[in-house]
């Protein structure tokens, strides 16, 4: 159960990947809404149990003489849960600061006795990716990895969106193509461990069956301000309910005007 929770927190998008039609990539703001040094921390809960924690960091680096953003998402089990089944999952993305398209991604996971390490290089001119495990693959134009997709969504201008408008994005994950659809559900004020926030609400379209009961069993919220920071994720699956709450943020680019109380 913890393994499911960790994976879903970092890559909630994978669960919505059963769509087969080609997705279109919405435009983004040319100026990023995040900066070097941003750090977001989260607690991961299974019911009343705090099962783990997650950290998302961002910094600027030079890769092949080009300045890129380097984002790292790390999730791990803690406390009693960690003694029962230890999980440390790390996902990294090097993406272009202007287009937000990835140049390189890394997946480094340890879940119990299972380990896997993969590096993927992106060639957007040739519409290919090169995996360290499976070689070259053809992909659609403007393909994203999962971490770059999270930051891409934060750069979308939702001011003109109406309820039930859909964001459609192509991603490459675990050496496969994953298009996913996210439904915009308007604005909502939510309460977290850190306080109350005005948020943008989204429901990824998930596939009922093996993990989920219904296709709307997952919800996530972004701060309704210029930062669009992920605030909370909830998902109800067959084995129970999971929640991920923000517990701290620092070095955000703009004031957190969405935060109502502490």
- Cα separation, 14 vs 261, whole angstroms: 33
The two three-digit tokens of residue 56, written as one number? 């998302």
φ, ψ at 49 (rounded to 5°): -95, 130
Mean pLDDT for the stretch of residues 93-105: 97
What pLDDT sits at residue 50? Answer: 86
pLDDT band at 49 (very low <50, low <70, confident <90, very high): confident
Coil, strand or helix at 136: strand
**Are 72 and 90 contacting, i.e. CB atoms less than 8 angstroms apart?**
yes
What pLDDT sits at residue 196? Answer: 96
Among candidate residues 123, 256, 132, the one with its CA nearest the CA of residue 198:
256
Comparing 27-36, 82-91, 123-132, 234-243, the range with the smallest average pLDDT is: 234-243
State whether CATH 3.40.1340 applies to domain 2-250.
no
Q: Mean pLDDT across the chain, nearest whole number?
A: 85
- Cα separation, 145 vs 120, whole angstroms: 9
Q: pTM for this one?
A: 0.89
pLDDT band at 179 (very low <50, low <70, confident <90, very high): confident
Residue 108 has pLDDT above 70, yes or no: yes
Mean pLDDT for the stretch of residues 107-115: 91
């Amino acid at each position: 159960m913890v393994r499911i929770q960790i994976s879903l927190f970092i890559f909630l998008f994978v669960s919505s990947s059963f769509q087969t039609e080609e997705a279109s990539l919405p435009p983004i703001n040319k100026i990023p809404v995040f900066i070097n040094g941003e750090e977001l921390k989260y607690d991961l809960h299974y019911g009343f149990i705090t099962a783990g924690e997650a950290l998302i960091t961002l910094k600027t680096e030079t890769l092949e003489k080009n300045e890129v953003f380097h984002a790292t998402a790390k999730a791990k089990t803690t406390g009693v849960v960690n003694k029962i089944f230890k999980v440390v999952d790390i996902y990294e993305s090097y993406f272009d600061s202007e287009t937000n398209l990835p140049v390189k991604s890394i997946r480094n996971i340890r879940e119990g006795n299972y380990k896997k390490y993969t590096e993927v290089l992106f060639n957007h001119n040739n519409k290919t990716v090169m995996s360290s495990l499976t070689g070259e693959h053809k992909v659609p134009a403007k393909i994203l990895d999962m971490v770059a997709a999270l930051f891409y969504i934060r750069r979308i201008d939702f001011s003109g969106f109406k309820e039930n408008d859909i964001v459609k994005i192509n991603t490459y994950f675990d050496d496969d193509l994953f298009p996913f659809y996210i439904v915009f559900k308007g604005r909502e004020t939510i309460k977290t461990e850190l306080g109350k926030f005005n948020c943008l609400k989204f429901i990824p379209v998930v596939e009922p069956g093996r993990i989920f009961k219904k296709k709307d069993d997952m919800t996530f919220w972004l701060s309704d301000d210029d930062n669009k920071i992920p605030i909370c994720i909830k998902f109800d699956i067959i084995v129970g309910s999971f929640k991920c709450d923000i517990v701290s943020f620092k070095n955000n680019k703009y004031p957190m005007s969405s935060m109502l109380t502490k």
